Structure 1
Amino acid sequence: MALADDLVTIFGLPAHPLLVHAVVVLLPLSAVAAAALAVVPRWRQRYAWPLLGVTLMGVGSVPLAQVAGDQLNAKLASLENPLIQRHAELGNDLLPFALGFGVAVVALLVAGRLADRERAAAADDTAVPKTWRRIAVVVAVLVIAAGAATTVQTVRIGHSGSTAVWDGVGTT
């Protein structure tokens, strides 16, 4: 990846753990918010844009954390720590989960908006089909599943990174 030439440090601190905090906060937060909007459709109109913003920031922070992690891993290559290698392998798997979740959130917001319009039209005309309302329900299930999968993967990766850093610390 060629996103940045040097993401190893920010203000003299390792960039990877700092950037990872954006991932571990924003992705689960957007997963919970997306699930809420999927379950309570009337919140979509009010909270769609904030959800989209948080989701885009969370998904966008993944490649930055990965690049910084790859650069940090290259600097630490002499350690040959299998726990760091496992963390790096798991970390490389997060982007597809995050992108899939991001696409599902966009689909939820679009299908939800169209379902809301269909619902309003059905108030005047009972012959209006329930096409978008049904699609919105299917997409709601998908967004909840994608959010859960992304959150689980984020936790797995974070746990492996924490284990790699803290394994053996404090023991004699």
Structure 2
Amino acid sequence: MGTVNGLPAHILLVHAIVVLLPLAAVLLVLTAWWPAARRRLAGPNVLLSAATLVLVPITMDAGQWLQDRVPDTPLLQDHTQLGDTALYAAFAVTVMALVTWWRHREALRVSGVPSGAKRTFLAPRNTGVTVVVGVVASLIAGAALYDVYLIGDSGARASWTGDYSATVIEDNAD
């Protein structure tokens, strides 16, 4: 993907990732730890996470298009290398969102049924498993948030380092 309305598509698409991946990560933590949030948001978070996972490679492809059209610098190389990690972060958030949703689904299926009467795979009634899922979800969400920060910071540095004046330009001062 090249341009959208005359602007490089990467510049526009990256804003969606910067909003959607952290939102999915925060929802993941909420749904992993808070049953009321899990009831309402686990399913929508799976859809949000999956949509973000699909959007990441599209954004990366648009970034490759842009990279081929700007001067190669060490800052750009850093950003490109960090940008490749977004796919792993989005994948991990999506998998844990699925795990959280599936546990909720299993819990609904076995509610009111004596233990062992229906087979479950993710132990929806086991508090220990819930804590493990919550901790893993929190770690993955934290890593995803940090990853988005690192990628965004490196992209901003690659775009703006040396491209602005440290002092006010007299023609622009009002």
TM-score, normalised to structure 2, is 0.83
Give the % identical residues. Answer: 35
1:2-151 alignment to 2 at 5 Å?
A: 7-76=1-70, 79-118=71-110, 120-121=111-112, 125=114, 128=115, 131-134=123-126, 135-151=129-145
Residue 165 of structure 2 aligns with which residue? 170
**Distance of 1:61 and 1:37 partners within structure 2:** 22
Quick check: 1:115–1:136 contact (8 Å CA) kept in 2? no
Is 1:154 the equivalent of 2:145? no
Q: CA deviation at 1:149?
A: 0.7
- Seen in structure 2, the aligned counterparts of structure 1 residues 9 and 97 have a Cα distance that, compared at 3 Å, is same
Task: Give the structure with the higher percent helix.
Answer: 1
**TM superposition shift of 1:42:** 2.5
Secondary structure in structure 2 of the residue aligned to 1:75 = coil
Greater C-alpha radius of gyration: 2
- Number of positions where the alignment pairs a residue of Structure 1 with one of Structure 2: 159
User: Shift of the alpha carbon at 1:41?
Assistant: 1.2
Instruction: Give the corresponding residue for 1:4.
Output: none
Structure 1 counterpart of 2:166, one-letter code? T
The one-letter code matched in structure 2 to 1:39 is W
| Deviation of the 1:34 alpha carbon | 1.4
- Cα distance in 2 for residues equivalent to 1:171 and 1:41: 50
Segments ≥4 residues shifted beyond 6 Å: none
Please give the alpha-carbon distance, in whole angstroms, between the structure 2 residues aligned to 1:139 and 1:112: 12
The alpha-carbon deviation at position 166 of structure 1 amounts to 1.1
> 1:17 Cα shift?
1.1
TM-score for the superposition, normalised by structure 1: 0.83
Q: Distance in 2 between matches of 1:41 and 1:56?
A: 22
CA distances 1:126-153 after superposition (whole Å, capped 9, x unpaired): xx26933333432222222111111110
Give the Cα separation in 2 of the matches to 1:92 and 1:21.
Answer: 16
Could you tell me which residue of structure 2 aligns to residue 3 of structure 1?
Answer: none
- CA gap 1:56/1:22 in 2 versus in 1, 3 angstroms: same
1:111–1:139 CA contact under 8 A, matched in 2: no
Question: Contact 1:108–1:136 at 8 Å: present in 2 too?
Answer: no
- Asked if structure 2 preserves the Cα contact closer than 8 Å seen for 1:112 and 1:133, the reply is no
Shift of 1:91: 0.5
In 2, Cα distance between equivalents of 1:80 and 1:71: 13
